Amino acid sequence: MFEDPIRRGLKLRCARCGEGKLFRSYLKFKDECAVCGQDFSVADTADGPAFFVGFLVMILFAPFYFILPMLPLPLPLMIGAWVVLLSMMIGLALFLLPPFKAVLFNLQVRNRAEEAKWESTGKHGTPPNNWKP
């Protein structure tokens, strides 16, 4: 159970059984695993995958943003090169989003990640009951 959530995430499969598919559409999770019944509403990756994918894609393509303007290309060719570069960035980001989301989700499920729960130790700005000036 819960073996290698990263590998299962890269295959877009359930963290628990490794068989059931995670997504019902491009980035929408199913309600539960069709094979083992794992509830897919127990975790939420929020914008984590978009952050990591955007960061990775920008790192990979950043050198081209410095090199391309320095090339002595005629304007139509320069425009074409930028269109190709931006298309490649968008395509790579869209390609990477589902596996990144699946891996992050599987890690959350595997590690039972949830929002922090804590109790307040008192009201801010009010002294404790035994405080005397």
Minimal distance in Å, beta carbon 46 to Zn ion? Answer: 22
- DSSP letter for 124, please: T
Nearest CB to Zn ion, comparing residues 17 and 88: 17
- Strand partners of residue 74: none
Minimal distance in Å, beta carbon 50 to Zn ion? Answer: 25
Nearest CB to Zn ion, comparing residues 15 and 57: 15
Minimal distance in Å, beta carbon 98 to Zn ion? Answer: 17
Minimal distance in Å, beta carbon 96 to Zn ion? Answer: 23
Residue type at 129 in one-letter notation? N
With b for 16 or more beta-carbon neighbours within 10 A and e for fewer, the 110-132 pattern comes to beeeeeeeeeeeeeeeeeeeeee
Backbone angles phi, psi at 98, to 5 degrees: -60, -50
Compute the chain's Rg from CA coordinates.
Answer: 23
The answer to whether 16 touches 26, Cβ cutoff 8 Å, is no
- Per CB under 5 A, residues contacting Zn ion are 14, 16-17, 20, 33, 35-36, 38
Nearest CB to Zn ion, comparing residues 33 and 57: 33
Nearest CB to Zn ion, comparing residues 87 and 111: 111
